[in-house]
Amino acid sequence: MTAVLIRGGAPYGEAPLDLLLDGGVIVATGGEATADERSVDAEIVDATGLVVLPGLVDLHTHLREPGREDAETVETGSAAAALGGYTAVFAMPNTDPTADTAGVVEQVYRLGRDVGLVDVFPIGAVTVGRKGERLAELAAMANSAARVRVFSDDGDCVSDALLMRRALEYVKAFGGVIAQHAQEPRLTQGAQMHEGEVSARLGLTGWPAVAEEAIIARDCLLTDHVGSRLHVCHLSTAGSVDVLAAAKVRGTAVTAEVTPHHLLLTDERAVGYDPVFKVNPPLRTAADVTALRQALADGVIDIVATDHAPHASQDKETEWDNASPGMLGLQTALSVVIETMLLPGLLDWRGVARVMSEAPARIGGLVEHGRPVAAGEPANLVLIDPTARWTVSGASLASLSANTPFEGMELPGRVVATYLRGRRTVSAGALAGV
């Protein structure tokens, strides 16, 4: 592999700085990059006007393989991720079979390696079959080739308090974290959308905010009691922000994510009963959206995670009540964060790097991702055209499924190139031939 000299790009949107990549590493920057003898034969990439960030890291992706290869595969999901500027994704275990053994997580890990577009890190199920009855083989998954550090029954809540306590105790031994899908099941039986004025108007069964907030409060207390580490998936309400903020003040070892769709869309989208807007947890109110944006800006919410959830058309394009909840996210996440956080001045580019790369890598225990754009660091990078605008079309996304809630919307910012360990996975906004 020849060296690559990226010229004129602006790390974190700050002063332009040339970057010389070789052997998977940023070997030199600035004047030292152009003076380095390895730059003589290097491939030159003109990055004038582009922002350079560390490759993005998604802590919450559904790749659907094994079991639902009609909706997504590791290959198509990896392509969507690379095109979205990601160099690493964490794959949720709600596959068929469930990723609850060393064998299945190793299978997903190896599929990711074989595709080679992003690093795929499997998340292990907390309970066998995600049934919430008994703990899965957490240590076996942690000790497997996939070295699992994040465990979740996502899609379902670990609602049994004793099981949750045991899981938190168990992962302490190897520095793991439990990622909780916070949804009190009895309070959300048959729920179809956010419980509020719109659900009353539409006559759809409501999913009350308190069903999320109560679980987060309980789990923060359990985490304190056990002395373990908790991560809250797709936090969606203003009340959850309050619970989280209080726990952090107290010193609870808790982190939390928000999805791009919860930063932009509200429950008003359900008017019209288009199931593309059905998601779990549901889209909330405008006041919730405002609180989530502010919490992400303040650092109360740590990261943006996509909850990329591809669904085959027969599961999604049906009447609202029967449609599967979930939305695509990998190729639109960065643009939605630019729209909702960067352009309004809530985050600068360093902040975007923090919430979409550095902090998710840290929570997931990765040491080669989410690193600074600096000499000696791994060459996992994304080059972004901050002035470009594009119109979202589900049919033209790399995902096997097309269920984007942003269909037809014009969004800012475009991924021009992505580098994984110095190798280009995306070039000129398209998959590089790798």
Contact 267, 284 (CB under 8 A): yes
The contact mask relative to Zn ion for 110-139 (x = CB under 5 A, - = no) is ------------------------------
For the chain, report the end-to-end CA distance as a whole number of angstroms: 12
The burial class, CB within 10 Å (0-12 / 13-18 / 19+), for 8 is middle
Smallest separation, CB 155 to Zn ion (Å)? 6
- The smaller minimum CB distance to Zn ion, of residues 120 and 232, is found at 232
Residue 329 to residue 84: CA distance in whole angstroms? 9
Phi/psi at 271 (5° precision): -60, 125
Smallest separation, CB 429 to Zn ion (Å)? 30
Nearest-CB residue to Zn ion?
Answer: 181
Smallest separation, CB 290 to Zn ion (Å)? 22
Catalytic residue among 18, 267, 307, 385: 307
Beta-carbon count within 10 A of 47 CB? 24
- The smaller minimum CB distance to Zn ion, of residues 154 and 358, is found at 154
Binding footprint of Zn ion, residue count (CB under 5 A): 3
- The smaller minimum CB distance to Zn ion, of residues 228 and 306, is found at 306
Residue 208 to residue 189: CA distance in whole angstroms? 11
- The smaller minimum CB distance to Zn ion, of residues 163 and 297, is found at 163
What stretch of H or E contains 423?
strand 423-427
The contact mask relative to Zn ion for 208-247 (x = CB under 5 A, - = no) is -------------------------x--------------
Among 36, 154, 212, 385, which residue interacts with Zn ion (rule: CB under 5 A)? 154
Q: Is 307 a catalytic residue?
A: yes
Q: Judged by CB under 5 A, does residue 181 bind Zn ion?
A: yes
Nearest CA to 327 out of 382, 264, 390 is that of 264
Smallest separation, CB 58 to Zn ion (Å)? 14
The burial class, CB within 10 Å (0-12 / 13-18 / 19+), for 304 is buried
Catalytic residues: 307
Rule CB under 5 A: which residues touch Zn ion? 154, 181, 233
